[in-house]
Chains A and B, each alone.
Chain A
Amino acid sequence: MATRLQFENNCEVGVFSKLTNAYCLVAIGGSESFYSIYEYELADVIPVVKTSIAGTRIIGRACAGNKNGLLVPHTTTDQELQHLRNSLPDSVVVQRIDERLNALGNHIACNDHVALAHTDLDRKTEELIADVLGVEVFRTTIAGNILVGTYCALSNRGGMVHPHTSIEELDELSTLLQVPLVAGTVNRGSDLIAAGMTVNDWTAFCGSDTTATELSVIENVFKLRKAQPSAIVDEMRKSLIDSYV
């Protein structure tokens, strides 16, 4: 189920939080209500960890992770690294990466099986991604943008990309990632998809500016809405009935 929220009156929730299947990272500062919304949805299931990276609050764009691991930039302090390691479950490997391109959240889009990477990443970084996150890495662009992490939100069940992605590219990426993709927007037409929302296999959090249409698209592509019997019948009706007499 997709939830709409704001961080300090800012709708870019994908910047201030990172959501995966095994944990959730939230930025410190701001009001407790931001944190409490995440806790309300997720507290029983996965740990919700308040953290900063390199003393900043833009943790969603700085780090990249999935249920197997978390990659943080080299600017992360030792204390923050230790805090992450202590708060996250042992199955998650926390690794600091020495890479010129620091904002890993902008350069890497990943789910639990496959990752898209910025074309200019080091080979050593690519190997580390494959090793720590346990994914297959593809260097691609999305609609001509090299910042794949910003323009694509990915979960194990679906993905949403930049609205100007062509259909051929959508098909190509879909076969690479093995998930259904849709080109859409978030936060009233913003094309920075992953900055405007965070998603995992069963929830999504979007900015409060997200329209109902965008929200329904998100819930459909990431398969967040529980299947209702009427919905199934509706979908089946089209295939069962040839023509109305």
Chain B
Amino acid sequence: MRLEFCWFCSSKIYPGHGIQFVRNDAKIFRFCRSKCHKNFKMKRNPRKVKWTKAYRRLHGKDMTKDSTFELERKRNRPERYDRNVMENTLKAIKKIDKIRHDRAADHIAQRWKPKAAKERREARKELEQSISLIKAPLAIQSQEPAITVPKIKVKAPKQQTVENQPMEE
């Protein structure tokens, strides 16, 4: 039993799922569900279909270059079974999966990071430009200066302590 990847969407195909299509040139296409199979029959290019991994990787939405990807590849020259190696490999697989998952999440968080600052900038600009949609310009002027009137600096009077003041008679 081997967990293959769907040719269209690149998701894992578990046993009992999906369809395999063998073309006349002996190339095998595996699909995880009929959605992918039907898209293939419509001759759609997975690199242009937004929800596939191929699209996401091509357009930089998902992490592409990482050393963890090189560890999971199909090996054609097996090694003799060694229990210790097997044990260590199983532990390593878990760790590598977690690392890859975290790095992928980081990649997406990095993509979203400039969004907060951009939103704030755009909000401020909109406030300055389009405040007239909410309040009439005259109303703004007669109201608190907080909104449009520039700040005027008024010096506060020097506070005199009670002791220094001569007694008023």
Partner-B contacts on A (CB < 8 A)? 77-79, 81-82, 84-86, 90, 93-98, 100, 102
Q: Are A96 and B76 in contact (CB-based, < 8 A)?
A: yes
Query: DSSP class of B's interface residues: helix, strand, loop or mixed?
Result: loop
User: In the complex the two chains form, is A94's CB within 8 Å of B78's CB?
Assistant: yes
* Residues of B with C-beta under 8 A to A82: 78, 81
A95 in contact with B26 (CB, 8 Å): no
Evaluate contact between B79 and A85: CB separation under 8 angstroms.
Answer: yes
Instruction: Please give, as numbers and ranges, the residues of chain A lying within 8 Å of B124 by CB-CB distance.
Output: none
Say yes or no: A95 contacts B77, CB within 8 Å.
Answer: yes
Give a binary string over B1-40; 1 marks a CB under 8 Å from any A CB, 0 the rest: 1100000000000000000000001100000000000000
Known contacts A97-B76, A100-B25, then 17 further A-B pairs from the complex at CB < 8 Å, ordered by chain A residue: A77-B1, A78-B2, A78-B78, A79-B1, A81-B78, A85-B78, A85-B79, A85-B80, A85-B81, A86-B80, A90-B80, A93-B77, A94-B77, A95-B76, A96-B77, A98-B76, A100-B26
- Main secondary structure on chain A at its contact with chain B? mixed
Number of interface residues of B (CB under 8 A): 10
Q: In the complex, which residues of chain B have a beta carbon less than 8 angstroms from the beta carbon of A79? A: 1
A residues less than 8 Å from B1 (CB atoms): 77, 79
User: In the complex, which residue of chain B has the Cβ closest to the Cβ of A100?
Assistant: B26
C-alpha gap A78/B74 in the complex (Å): 10
B4 to chain A, nearest CB (A): 12
**Which residues on A sit within 8 Å (CB–CB) of B2?**
77-78
Q: Kindly list chain B residues whose C-beta atoms are within 8 Å of the C-beta of A100.
A: 25-26
- Docked complex: B112-160 residues within 8 A CB-CB of A: none
Q: Which residue of B lies closest to A84 (CB)?
A: B78
12 contacts between A and B (CB under 8 A): A77-B2, A78-B2, A82-B81, A85-B78, A85-B79, A85-B80, A86-B81, A95-B76, A95-B77, A96-B77, A98-B76, A100-B25
